[in-house]
Structure 1
C-alpha cells in the first residue's frame, strides 16, 4: 500500500500562494485607486486584471483539485473541525469566483472594457441593463471582501492552531520550508 502524501503538489502550492498574493495585491490596488490624487485609471486596470487572473487561477485550481483530491485531514481531528475546514475551503472558492465575475459583469453592463495588464482588451460579457444592473452587481462585488477577510482570518487561525496547538504537520503541507515534525 502506498504511503499517504504528506504535502501538496508543486502545482497546488503555486496556485494557492499565487492566488493569495494576487488577493493581497487586489487590496493594495483598490486602496491606491481610491486614494485622492492617485492615478486611478492605472490602478483600476491593474485591479481588474488581477481579478481576472484570480478567476483564471481559481478555475485552474478547482480543476486541479478535482483531478488531484486534497490530502486527508488528520484522523484525530474531530468531525466538526473537518466539516468546518472543508466548508471554509468551499466558501473560498465561491468568493474567489463570484468577486471577479461580479466585477466583470458590472463592467460589461456599463460597456466599460479594460486592458488585461495593458496587453490586450479583455472581452466584455454580453450583459445588458446598464447602470442599474451594474450598480446591483457592484453592491455584491463590494460586499464580498468582508466575507473574504473573515475566511482568510479563519484559514490563518486554523493553520496556526494546527502548527502550535495540535502540532500535526498540517502547515508543513502548504509551507514545505517548515520542518516536518516526527
Structure 2
C-alpha cells in the first residue's frame, strides 16, 4: 500500500523544491553548522596563540554565508514552493512556515550581529585576508554587546536547527511521507 503522501511518478517533480533551492538549502546547512561549530571552538581557544586564524575564517565564511542567505531569500520570494500536502494537518503546515521564517531570520541576524561586533574591534573585518573598509571606531564594550547577542542567537539558532532536523527525521523515518524528499536531491523511489 502506498503512503498517502507518496508520489506516483519519478518524472513528476512539481511537488519538490526547484534544484537551485535544494542546493542553496544544503550548502547553507553545511555552512551554518560549520560556522556554529568553529564559533564555539574558537571561543574555547580565544586567548591561545593561533586562535586569530579561526576568528578570521569564521568572519570570512560568515560573510559568505550572509550573501548565500540573501540569495536564498531572493530565490524564496521570487519562486514560491509548491504548498505542502493537503493531508498534512493545518497546525503542522503553520508550524513549518513559522520555523522556516524563524530560521531565515536567525540566519540573517547572525552574520549581521557578528559583522557589527567585529567592525567595532581593532582588527576590523577581513574577507579571506582582504581588509574591508573601516566605518566604526574600535569600541570594546560595543563590540562585546554585539558579540553577546551573536552568541545568544547562536544558541537559539542551534535549537531551531535541531527542531528542524528532528521534524525532517520524523517525516522521513516515522511518517514515511515525501515531506523530506521535497528538499532532497532525489525521490525516495529513484
Q: Same fold (TM over 0.5)?
A: yes
Contact 1:15 1:57 in 2 (8 A): yes
SS at match of 1:5: coil
Larger RCO (CA under 8 A, 6+ residues apart)? 2
Q: Which runs of 5+ in 1 are unaligned?
A: none
TM-score (norm 1): 0.86
CA deviations over 1:92-111 (Å, ceiling 9, x no partner): 11111111101111111235
Task: Indicate yes or no: 2:22 matched with 1:13.
Answer: yes
Listed as ranges, the gaps of 5+ residues in structure 2 are 1-11
Q: CA deviation at 1:40?
A: 0.8
8 Å contact 2:119–2:125 — kept in the other structure?
Answer: no
Q: Is the 8 A contact 2:36 2:154 kept in 1?
A: no
Number of equivalences = 177
Whether 1:123 aligns to 2:133 is yes
Does structure 2 retain, via aligned residues, the 8 Å contact 1:33–1:39? no
Is 1:104 aligned to residue 140 of structure 2?
no
Q: How much has 1:26 moved relative to structure 2?
A: 1.1
CA RMSD of superposed structures (Å) = 2.2
Note closer, same or farther for the CA distance 1:134–1:10 as it changes in structure 2 (3 Å cut). Answer: same
The residue that corresponds to 2:163 in the other structure is: 154
